Amino acid sequence: MISTLLVANRGEIACRIFRTCADLGIRTVAIHSDADEGALHTRVADTAVRLPGAAPAETYLRGDLIVKAALAAGADAVHPGYGFLSENADFARAVRDAGLVWIGPPPGAIEAMASKTRAKELMGLAPLDAHDVSPADLPVLVKAAAGGGGRGMRVVRDLAALPGALEDARAEAASAFGDGEVFVEPYLENGRHVEVQVLADSHGTVWTLGTRDCSLQRRHQKVIEEAPAPGLPPALTEQLYALAERATRAVSYEGAGTVEFLVADGRAHFLEMNTRLQVEHPVTEAVFGVDLVAEQIRVAEGHALPAEQPAAHGHAVEARLYAEDPARGWAPQTGTLHRFTVPDGVRLDTGCADGDTIGVHYDPMLAKVVAHAPTRTEAVRRLAGALERTALHGPVTNRDLLVRSLRHPEFTEARMDTGFYDRHLTALTEPAPDPYAPLAAALADAHGRSRFGGWRNVPSGPQVKRYERAGEEHEVAYRHTRTGLAADGVRVVQAAPHLVVLEVDGVRRKFEIARYGDQVHVNATALTALPRFPDPATEHAPGSLLAPMPGTVVRVAEGLSEGTEVKAGQPLIWLEAMKMEHRITAPTNGTLTALPAAVGRQVEMGALLAVVEAVRPS
């Protein structure tokens, strides 16, 4: 029996595993980098062990240090969570060789499915030969053999772009996974990403715990998932179960795993098998009433699964909250999470709490919010409503996008596919600011103060304040009167530092206000209070290329230096942050006049990376 368990991971999944351990009476051990010293997963564990450094390669990817930490803390088992070393067969062997229980499949099963090319061969499939790709094969997908989470993937629609895509994918795969092997497969557009949750023991029992639809994705990373996958014909569902069981038995699998497919033209196309717990496992838990982490632990202890698997009930939908700006290329965001409160009635899996700092080193996911209900319609409505009422004060997030996605007709009618955001991102990220939010912020700030320290029986001009929201400036005016604050077009019913009530055309509206420095949150609207006079020091020369996100410079184009002639759209610099790689390209034809960016340099958002002086017309 396992008594003490170390989670070889961080954040949300570590906290989620610790919760089950507490229910089972198992003591817990956290590991943490220097950047995570005060993180929630470190705070909630019974014991914590420091891994010196901040970068994943120095900490959460150091299997040798993690095994030492487990032994030093008196753990007798290791759970890898997902990501990092969760699908690393050598790490699994190292854990077992140290006399510890590995909460996962046998190393041989991980190895068999670790390479997507070998997994396809195991299922009787074969990738395309990159040298033989013809225009008739397009579009194709270049994919990292050892990858996941959208890393090392490139869609190619033009044959001339294939060599560059292969080079970029290899470089990203080598950086992310230590393995630059890539392969090419047909890219099935407008298909649905459907997967089957499996659970197997060492006694020959395999459960296929339903389907999940994970079609709503950005950068090949899932955003919204649900169970069961809606609208699948019964025959196709049975085929998915049969293929998933076949893959599971082919490698003598034990524990929880997921077999992924792309469903297109009424057929199931095998993608891969993930030999670990998936991020989206809570929707399966909700529908089947099981705790998959508890089952993983029981299987690892040698217990047999019941012959009859549990029955499904209702529908569950999960949304991933990210600290990112979908309107700016999904750019990761950093900063202090001042407040994070989710309404009752939904499940929250998170690794963050009020006051935590969202840094540059790790994935930008803040939390998963899950709704379960008797029907899909009820579950979707419940989740959208909960997200809309969630208080999120701090970095920009994808919360508004999630709410709009859940209420989009294609999603509510279950007509979505993997091209959903390609088609609708612009409309889903159109700014929709509350027109009265800036006024409410100004009135809350002005409460109890007047221009002259008190009302005077002398007419005076209105007070003016400026706020920025989603790149747009808003100017509002208000007045101090004998009866209090006033503004044109509305009746100010109440004005206090944290609550403003306005009456517009006979309808009263409440605005809750929170302020953190120059950042102001009015209900779900985030504003930045602007100074009366702009600071000239913040202005940059024309042609300046600024970091769109905080991150690390991982590549600079070969041969690039001051004086180099560049062409519009030419890739110059590659930034990596929170598991995402972003290319900085030349905005115009011109000459590179400054290049402060250097490989390995960490930069904040808005930092100057390069300056391109445009070619002057003759």
CATH of the domain at 218: 3.30.470.20
Query: Number of C-alpha atoms within 13 angstroms, CB side, residue 236?
Result: 18
pLDDT at 448 over 60: no
Confidence class of residue 179 from pLDDT cuts 50, 70 and 90? Answer: confident
pLDDT at 144: 85
The answer to whether 188 and 150 have CB atoms below 8 angstroms apart is no
* Kind of pairing between the strands at 365-373 and 347-350: antiparallel
pLDDT at 136: 86
Residue 197 within any structural domain of the chain: yes
Which of 3-7, 72-76, 156-160 shows the lowest per-residue confidence on average (mean pLDDT)? 156-160
For residue range 183-199, what is the model confidence (pLDDT) as tens digits? Answer: 888 887 789 999 999 99
Residue 193: Cβ within 10 Å count: 22
For residue range 98-115, what is the model confidence (pLDDT) as tens digits? Answer: 999 999 999 999 999 987
Residues 206 and 335 in one domain: yes
Catalytic residue (one of 10, 27, 276, 555) = 276
Rounded to an integer, the average pLDDT of 497-504 is: 96
Rounded to an integer, the average pLDDT of 164-190 is: 83
Residues 300 and 447 in one domain: no
pLDDT at 460: 57
Residues 140 and 163 in one domain: yes
Domain containing residue 576: CATH number: 2.40.50.100
Domain containing residue 54: CATH number: 3.40.50.20
pLDDT at 452: 46
Q: Which amino acid is at 84?
A: F
Q: Which residue has the higher pLDDT, 149 or 42?
A: 42
pLDDT at 600 over 90: no
For residue range 365-422, what is the model confidence (pLDDT) as tens digits? Answer: 999 999 999 999 999 999 999 999 999 999 999 999 999 999 999 999 999 999 999 9
The mean of the pLDDT values for the chain is 91
Confidence class of residue 143 from pLDDT cuts 50, 70 and 90? Answer: confident
For residue range 450-483, what is the model confidence (pLDDT) as tens digits? Answer: 544 445 555 556 899 999 987 788 999 999 988 8
- Global pTM reads 0.86
Residue 117 within any structural domain of the chain: no
Residue-range definition of the domain harbouring residue 578: 538-614
Secondary structure of residue 16 in the 3-state scheme:
helix
Domain containing residue 447: CATH number: 3.30.700.40
Residue 46 within any structural domain of the chain: yes
Rounded to an integer, the average pLDDT of 119-141 is: 83
Residues 552 and 510 in one domain: no
Rounded to an integer, the average pLDDT of 307-329 is: 96
Of 477, 511, 529, the last residue of a domain is 529
pLDDT at 130: 84
Residues 179 and 263 in one domain: no
pLDDT at 533: 62
Q: Confirm whether 276 is a catalytic residue.
A: yes
pLDDT at 153 over 80: yes
Residue 512 CB burial class (10 angstroms; 0-12, 13-18, ≥19): middle
pLDDT at 322: 97
DSSP secondary structure letter of residue 100: P
Residue 432 within any structural domain of the chain: no
pLDDT at 449: 61
The answer to whether 577 and 552 have CB atoms below 8 angstroms apart is yes
Rounded to an integer, the average pLDDT of 255-270 is: 94
Rounded to an integer, the average pLDDT of 347-357 is: 97
Nearby residues of 226 by Cβ (< 8 Å), 6 or more positions away:
212, 213, 283, 315, 316, 317, 318, 376, 379
Residues 361 and 264 in one domain: yes
Residues 462 and 564 in one domain: no
Query: Number of C-alpha atoms within 13 angstroms, CB side, residue 454?
Result: 2
Residue 119 within any structural domain of the chain: no
Q: Which amino acid is at 50?
A: R
The answer to whether 116 and 272 have CB atoms below 8 angstroms apart is yes
Q: Which residue has the higher pLDDT, 12 or 607?
A: 12
Residues 39 and 12 in one domain: yes
Q: Which amino acid is at 131?
A: H
H-assigned helices in 394-457: 399-406, 409-412, 420-428, 437-446
Residues 141 and 62 in one domain: no
pLDDT at 215: 97
Bridge partner residues of 11 (DSSP): none
Residues 182 and 207 in one domain: no
Residue 442: Cβ within 10 Å count: 27
Residues 234 and 264 in one domain: yes
Q: How far apart are CA 225 and CA 76, in angstroms?
A: 34
Of 426, 457, 482, the last residue of a domain is 426
Percentage of the chain beyond pLDDT 90 is 70
Of 73, 103, 133, the last residue of a domain is 103
Domain containing residue 151: CATH number: 3.30.1490.20
Residues 495 and 560 in one domain: no
Q: Which residue has the higher pLDDT, 471 or 85?
A: 85
Residue 405 within any structural domain of the chain: yes
Tell me the C-alpha to C-alpha distance, in Å, between residue 571 and each of 542, 563, 574, 582: 19, 16, 8, 10
Residue 113 within any structural domain of the chain: no
Residue 461 within any structural domain of the chain: yes
Q: Which residue has the higher pLDDT, 455 or 97?
A: 97
The answer to whether 372 and 285 have CB atoms below 8 angstroms apart is no
Residue 580 CB burial class (10 angstroms; 0-12, 13-18, ≥19): buried
pLDDT at 451: 47
pLDDT at 453: 47
Number of domains present in the structure of the chain: 5
